[in-house]
Structure 1
């Protein structure tokens, strides 16, 4: 009950009631953006995961492709063997090598994208 001398109640509202609210930035992303120690740890873990993947794919390709000259050195019959009228070394070096490189690249890209998606999901939740 207001008396005639008391001030009238006024409702104060923002003139920008229809303005969109700022999106809430997940803590993990903020940590990375602000380059805090925790953000550095997050980035270090991502880089380590990518490095492990890279080294694994390179090691696999080196073992497979490096085994070709070893095959020719250890099994002399492979040097003179023919496949469809072409020497086996030519077939292996000219045809078989490319699918091996392609598969290694596909494996790398698929796993790199998976690592990044998992990292993004993890950081987004924090």
Structure 2
């Protein structure tokens, strides 16, 4: 419940306050807005908001960086998984190798892709966040 305006608590008079022994009371200036706060260049932010050609170029560069990262990780994953059948073809003894009655080739082809996809997704997420941080730093500076 909000008290009515006329029942507001009275603040103590600062001149009558006593400081603990050995200390002095300090006055604190309360300011609604700090004028020294963030005076970064507004030009890039305005160009992004107004979707000018410069803003579009900045966003296009961010998208291209993220696309390059995605393609690089996809090609690495594809190369690793695609090399397994070639490895089995070149070394038939490795293809028929079994441990505990389970063929290693089936384990590699059936189990390896899942941790590999998770690792690739995590790596992409980290790289995409880095690209976005760099983009924000570039725009704000």
TM bracket, shorter-chain basis: 0.7 to 0.9
Q: Distance in 1 between matches of 2:45 and 2:130?
A: 18
Residue 109 (structure 2) pairs with residue 93 (structure 1) = yes
**Separation in 1, partners of 2:101, 2:136:** 53
Q: For each residue in 1:44-89, what CA deviation from the matched residue of structure 2 results, as whole angstroms up to 9, or x when unmatched? A: 1111111110110111001101111111111111221002321111
Q: Relative to total residues, which structure has the larger helix share, 1 or 2?
A: 1
Number of corresponding residues? 107
Give the Cα–Cα distance (whole angstroms) in 2 for the partners of residues 103 and 34 of structure 1.
38
Query: What is the TM-score when the length of structure 1 is the normalising length?
Result: 0.75
For the aligned residue pairs, the C-alpha RMSD in angstroms reads 2.0
Contact preservation (8 Å) 1:46, 1:119: yes
More contact order relative to length (CA 8 Å, sep ≥ 6):
1
Secondary structure (helix, strand or coil) at the match of 2:71 reads: helix
Are the aligned partners of 1:27 and 1:124 in contact in 2 as well (CA < 8 Å)? Answer: no
CA distance, structure 2, for counterparts of residue 34 and residue 123 of structure 1: 14
Give the whole-Å Cα distance in 2 for the aligned partners of 1:27 and 1:92.
53
